[in-house]
Structure 1
Amino acid sequence: MRPFYALLAGLLLTAAAAHGQSPASDTEAVKQTINRFFEGMRKTDSTLIRSTLAPTVILQTISNRGGKTQVQTENVAAFLKAVGTPHQGVYDERISFERVLIDAQLASVWTPYQFYVSDKFSHCGYNSFQLVKLAEGWRIAYIIDTRRKDGCK
């Protein structure tokens, strides 16, 4: 009987350890990473933004030019320079977390947003974030968004 109790104790300890990495704590950590990204934009702090990004991050936007849908890839270094260089107005992207899905080291997050420069409305749309859990924590690996001026929430 002793091997049975040893096995049972091992299973219970494994279950308790797995429970310690609760989905709720991962969900909050994912949200914190995304919130830090936008905090960096508001503060004109490219170092803070960079700390939220995976080394091979991809930034894309879906646009409609001349009635044709296009996907544009943004240069990450140019993006960091643009948001990290002093400029008029505060870049303020106001998001809400509509959906956060997590499986192991992958998170997918859907956020409607409204973008303001200081208090002046610029555009709105949806962000789709893909995050990966690295040794340093959750990092943004991919962002794609839509942008429009009307039909906003």
Structure 2
Amino acid sequence: MFTVSFYKPTSIFLKHISATLLLLAASATNPALAQKASPETEAVKSIITTFFDGMRRGDSTMVRRTLAPAAVFHGFGGEPGQTPTLEIESINGFLKAVGTPHPQIWDERVTFERVLIDANLASVWAPYEFYLGSKFSHCGYDSFQLVRLADGWKIAHVIDTRRKEKCK
């Protein structure tokens, strides 16, 4: 005849398992311990950051350097209660507006929610808040399409949503 004995964990074993599980949970939720973004992801983010830095400085030349030839801007929005409209925005008009002195800084604050890259194409999804100086103006999401050209990543297309309500 044989006997079956069940394994009874010791308190040291339980403490070790508890500590391991706690460490795993902390590393899963702590951004400092999360995996670092790839150099390509950082390069894509850098171009978008430069675009907005140029906008804040009123430097249209800096902004233009982030754009691919024949880049396209679209705006998607409208007044509350109305059907949203899709508008094509003039790149040259935008650059002229950025470079023309204006009383308040145009400060678009983005958060990089998703960056997807395949070979020479990148797609970025970024919620934003827009401020005129220190005054909140509107919010929404920016969707960027970037291409890697001979001189690096460039913005080929931007489309955004715009609203004043239901912001963060």
Q: Same fold (TM over 0.5)?
A: yes
2:71 matched to 1:75? no
Q: What residue is the counterpart of 2:47 in the other structure?
A: 33
Q: What residue is the counterpart of 1:109 in the other structure?
A: 124
Distance (whole Å) between structure 2 residues aligned to residue 135 and residue 35 of structure 1:
20
* CA shift digits 1:107-141 (9 cap, x unpaired): 00000000001100000000000000000100000
Q: What is the deviation of 1:69? A: 1.9
Secondary structure in 1 aligned to 2:78? Answer: strand
Q: What residue is the counterpart of 2:28 in the other structure?
A: none
Distance (whole Å) between structure 2 residues aligned to residue 121 and residue 64 of structure 1:
18
Q: What residue is the counterpart of 1:148 in the other structure?
A: 163
User: What's the TM-score, normalizing by structure 2?
Assistant: 0.76
Q: What residue is the counterpart of 2:102 in the other structure?
A: 87
Secondary structure in 2 aligned to 1:138? Answer: strand
2:145 matched to 1:130? yes
Secondary structure in 2 aligned to 1:68? Answer: coil
What is the count of residue pairs matched by the alignment? 131
2:134 matched to 1:119? yes
Report sequence identity in percent.
58
Structure with higher Rg: it is: 2
Question: Which among 56, 80, 85 is matched to residue 42 of structure 1?
Answer: 56
Q: What is the deviation of 1:70? A: 1.1
Question: Which among 66, 75, 97 is matched to residue 61 of structure 1?
Answer: 75
Higher strand share: 1
Greater Cα offset, 24-33 or 66-75: 66-75
Structure 1: stretches of 5+ with no match in the other structure: 1-22
Distance (whole Å) between structure 2 residues aligned to residue 75 and residue 152 of structure 1:
26
Distance (whole Å) between structure 1 residues aligned to residue 92 and residue 40 of structure 2:
28
User: What's the TM-score, normalizing by structure 1?
Assistant: 0.83
Distance (whole Å) between structure 2 residues aligned to residue 67 and residue 147 of structure 1:
13
* CA shift digits 1:21-41 (9 cap, x unpaired): xx8111000000000000000
Dislocated runs of 4+, deviation >3 Å: none
* CA shift digits 1:56-90 (9 cap, x unpaired): 10000101256222100001000000011100100
Distance (whole Å) between structure 1 residues aligned to residue 130 and residue 48 of structure 2:
15
